[in-house]
Amino acid sequence: MSALRRLRARLGDDVIAATVLATLVLVVHLLCLPSQALTDDDDFYAPAGIRAADWLVELVTSPTTALSRTGIDAAFAINHEHPPFAKLVFGVAHHLFHGVLGWFHALDGARTGTVLFVVAMVWVMVRWLWRPLGPTATVASVALLLTMPRFFLHSEVATLDVPVAAMVFVTAALFERAGDRVRAGVVVGVVFGLAAATKLNAPFAALPCVALVLLERWRAFRVAHADDATPTATVRLPPIPPALWAMALVGPVVFLLVWPWLWPDPLPRLGGYLAFHLKHYPIYLFFDGEIWERPFAPGRASLVMAAASLPLVTVVAATIGAVIAGRAVVTLVGGSPPAGDVAAPRVRILALCLLQAVVAVAVVAVSNVPRYGGEKLFMPFFPFAAILGGVGVAALVEALQRTARTTRPAVAVVVIALVAAPGVRGIVDTFGGFALSYYGEVVGGLRGAVARGYERTYYDMADKRLARLLDEQAAGLRVHMVPNHKEYVRTWRWLRKDGVLRRDGFIVEAQLERADIVVLSHERRWSTYPALRERLRGWTVLAEQRVDGVPLWTVYRHPT
């Protein structure tokens, strides 16, 4: 027996495939990460994570100081409007990949934390899907997720969106696998608590889990009529999986334990956290040719962005997968046995993925919250959409094999390559900081989106091409960035710190009137954009970044 066969026999194909694919994802992202642009959120979460990780060290070296109110506040006051789990991972990753191994600059070291979330998610995804859905759907799911251009960028920046997507995904997978086992259910509760400690939208992952249980076990509802033995009528509920109990009971405990900021004043600080998000300050969104602040942009903006930010082939694949998953829901509702037993794993997985995908977008679309930042608020949608897409691709492979009367695996390989190709092209075209300008063919690409009045980019700008260009052409000159200078320069500090920019390069100038060079980001959500565009028309254009002919930023030199 060869070594590979022995390994397969020992570990199983799913473990080997999960490890291979997760390693591939790790390598790809670690190679690409140093070239990736900075977002303005990097500067919020990376420093918070590094400080939180320092606190972990303090906890070992001087626990009394670390656990004092002063010690906790010093470590966790920064960015306390968001819970700490992902930031702790960023901080530990920073210390490991930057401090210990020296592989990355300071910020990139922290950003490897996000990559670790993606790698864990892919590993779980393959383990979860391999047997119930088969290798084709599994590999296609990973391929589609990895080749979503915007998700690709989000996977390499220190923000909470991909981490919460990963945690929601792992929670859902473990929940489905747990069934009625108590110990597995407790694990689900712990992971759910960590997900809630990642970002505020994680708890909504419980809704599809509850819905799955209701769909599966609704027949077990019983009404016992009153009789001589029992004088009042009673309602008997279906058996509730231990995982749901654990999500409700263990999850909040883990949430509190993971977030030291809450410890000194649990209720006031928890109240402050919730109040901050319930009354979130408005953030501009440019949609349908209008700037939306208050009222918030319409709910359909989320639906449009969900479809428009994916390649058309992925949308078609996911739609076919959603139809198949819809049939699984029907099967679940109509076919579950009266005793409330669990259905086949494939049926449960498909139904749960559909429910999670729908809820992830619907929560943003129907709630009274500012809908900003394109797709970032419903990032948990994408892994589930990828799985639905993978199911659609598997349906295509089976259809082709039946039609051509072949069972050759090459059909699957070619089909997966073909459906992943548009996403790969999108990543290549927008790599290095322009992925948030990616729009799929559903809306005619970036040009169609901009013509329809959707925003061409967000998260401000700090791509390294622009940084190096300014280093070369603006050394010693005063540079001002519009329309949102104060946010842009916050992020640019990291480029200086990490050596991407020379320390004696250009001078950041707070006033446009005093600037020699002005960088205009063509973000139309700023009401000052038209006037700035007019003002700079007479200036000399030094450089311009266009994607598909659409300008994203322009560097102007003062005419005198």
Partner 1 sequence: MAPRPRDVAVIVAFGVALIATVVSPWWGRDRLGAADVGGGARGLLPGLVQPGDTVLVHPPWRDDVVAALRAPGALPLPAGVVVTEAFTRRHGDPWPSLVVVAEGVHPWPASLENRRVALGVDVTERAGLRVFRLPGDVAPRDVVDVGRATVRVERGDGSVVACPWDTERRRHVCRGLGPWMTVGAETMQIAGQKAGCTWSHPITGGRLVVDYGRVDLASAVAFEAALSDVAADNTQGAPVTFTVRVDDVARTLTVHRARGFARLDLPATGTAHVVVEVATSHDGQRHACHRFNTGGAP
Residues at the interface with partner 1 (CB under 8 A): 279, 281-282, 286, 288-295, 311-313, 315-317, 320, 392, 395-396, 398-400, 402-403, 418-419, 422, 441, 444-445, 447-448, 450-453, 511, 513, 524-531, 533-535, 546, 548-551
Least CB distance to partner 1 at residue 285 (A):
10
DSSP 237: P
**Encoded tokens for 33:** 């990460």
Largest CA distance in the chain: 99
* Residue 274: Cβ-neighbour burial (10 angstroms; 0-12, 13-18, 19+): exposed
- DSSP per-residue letters across 318-371: HHHHHHHHHHHHHHHHHH--TT-----HHHHHHHHHHHHHHHHHHHHHHSSS--
Grouping H, G, I as helix, E, B as strand and the rest as coil, residue 311 is coil
Q: Are 516 and 420 contacting, i.e. CB atoms less than 8 angstroms apart?
A: no
Q: Euclidean distance between the first and final Cα of the chain, in Å?
A: 78
- Comparison of 8 and 452: residue with beta carbon closer to partner 1: 452
Measured from the CB atom, the residue of 292 and 372 that comes closer to partner 1 is: 292
Shortest distance (Å) from residue 291 CB to partner 1: 4
CB of 423 to partner 1, least distance (A): 10
**Residue 52, CA distances (Å) to 92, 133, 530 in order:** 9, 40, 42
Give the residue from 37, 34, 7, 30 showing the smallest Cα distance to 463.
37
**Residue 286 main-chain phi, psi, to 5 deg:** -95, 115
For partner 1, the closer of residues 90 and 488 by Cβ is 488
Q: CB of 471: closest distance to partner 1 in angstroms?
A: 26
Please, what is the minimum distance in Å from the beta carbon of residue 310 to partner 1?
Answer: 11
CA distance 353 to 359: 10
Nearest to 113 by CA among 95, 99, 138, 136: 95
**C-alpha triplet 329, 187, 353: angle, nearest 5°:** 20
Nearest CA to 253 among 192, 314, 211?
192
What is the nearest approach in angstroms of partner 1 to the Cβ of residue 117? 30
Quote the crossing angle between the two packed helices 182-196 and 242-258, to the nearest 10°: 40
Is the omega angle on the peptide bond into residue 338 within 30 degrees of 0, that is, cis?
no
Nearer to partner 1, 295 or 334 (CB): 295
Residue (279 or 503) nearer to partner 1, CB:
279
Of 252 and 448, nearer to partner 1 (C-beta) is 448
Comparison of 291 and 542: residue with beta carbon closer to partner 1: 291
The CB-of-456 to partner 1 minimum distance in angstroms stands at 8
Nearest CB to partner 1, comparing residues 88 and 446: 446
Q: Is the dihedral of CA 88, 437, 370, 355 positive or negative?
A: negative
CB-neighbour burial class of residue 36 (10 A; exposed 0-12, middle 13-18, buried 19+): buried
User: Closer to partner 1 at the Cβ: 170 or 450?
Assistant: 450
- By beta-carbon proximity to partner 1, the closer residue of 179 and 551 is 551
CB of 426 to partner 1, least distance (A): 10
Shortest Å distance, C-beta 556 to partner 1: 13
Q: Are 76 and 84 in contact (CB under 8 A)?
A: yes
CB of 64 to partner 1, least distance (A): 34
State the nearest-atom distance from the C-beta of 303 to partner 1, in Å.
14
What residues have CB less than 8 Å from 333, skipping those under 6 apart? 215, 218
Cβ at position 344, least distance to partner 1 in Å? 21
Query: Is the preceding omega at residue 483 within 30 degrees of 0, hence cis?
Result: yes
Give the residue with the Cβ less far from partner 1, 329 or 396.
Answer: 396
Identify whether the C-beta of residue 175 lies closer than 8 Å to the C-beta of residue 211.
no
**CB of 224 or CB of 418, closer to partner 1:** 418
Nearer to partner 1, 18 or 140 (CB): 140
Q: What's the min distance (Å) between Cβ of 290 and partner 1? A: 4
**Which of 26, 32, 190 shows the shortest CA–CA distance to 116?**
26
Kindly report the backbone phi and psi dihedral angles of residue 223, in degrees, each rounded to the nearest multiple of 5, phi listed first: -110, 120
Residues 547, 434 contacting (CB under 8 angstroms): yes
